[in-house]
A and B are shown apart, each in its own frame.
Chain A
Amino acid sequence: QQPVQSPQAVILREGEDAVINCSSSKALYSVHWYRQKHGEAPVFLMILLKGGEQKGHDKISASFNEKKQQSSLYLTASQLSYSGTYFCGTGKGGSQGNLIFGKGTKLSVKP
């Protein structure tokens, strides 16, 4: 039931783009994206709901393919500050209290 993230890790140079994917074997109502820097707590990035609503950062975008039960996070023109581990979380049902996170994708941006 845990969503599967790919890739597990990626190394970029500043200015390069990256895509992080999240897929689930279960029907999704929502997909949540968080970033965790080393030694810190996770921080909210994006939420995408079934039906197309979304809310998030200006410089980070994401898509949600309901039919394929997949979401992708797009990091364009990456900056050093983008480094960290990215987690997707999937919500079940209407209450959305139970969030299941993937194992994370570690992103390293080099100068």
Chain B
Amino acid sequence: EAQVTQNPRYLITVTGKKLTVTCSQNMNHEYMSWYRQDPGLGLRQIYYSMNVEVTDKGDVPEGYKVSRKEKRNFPLILESPSPNQTSLYFCASRPGLAGLTGYEQYFGPGTRLTVT
């Protein structure tokens, strides 16, 4: 089944304790992105990647790191989490091919992170 998977789905942690949220897609997609969703603010892009070893900042990259060493994986790293990073996080991927089909983005199920 074609899908984007994220782990963990729920995480409660303490301020300053490094964590990684994994994201993997099995559709051979070029583009991958991370978003955070907060009430009243919509979806805000954290980072995106257009291919292996190519990443770029989205609109809210502060406090986050990413890496794209393999096409299928795009982990989100919080080196020193703070309470303001408590949020619902979504990973997404899309083909990136020429043509309209390349723009269809597929979202993972989400990771609900609480930082105390």
Contacts and interface: CB of A to CB of B under 8 A. Distances in A.
Interface residues of B, number: 26
Interface of B: 31, 33, 35, 40-45, 48-50, 56, 58-59, 90, 100-101, 103-110
Contacts, number: 62
Given A41-B110, A97-B56, A98-B48, A87 B103 contact: no
Nearest to B59: A100
Interface residues of A, number: 28
A64 interface: no
A97 B55 CA distance: 10
Given A55-B100, A55-B104, A101-B43, 8 more contacts: A41-B107, A41-B108, A42-B43, A44-B105, A98-B45, A98-B56, A101-B44, A102-B42
A41 B90 contact: yes
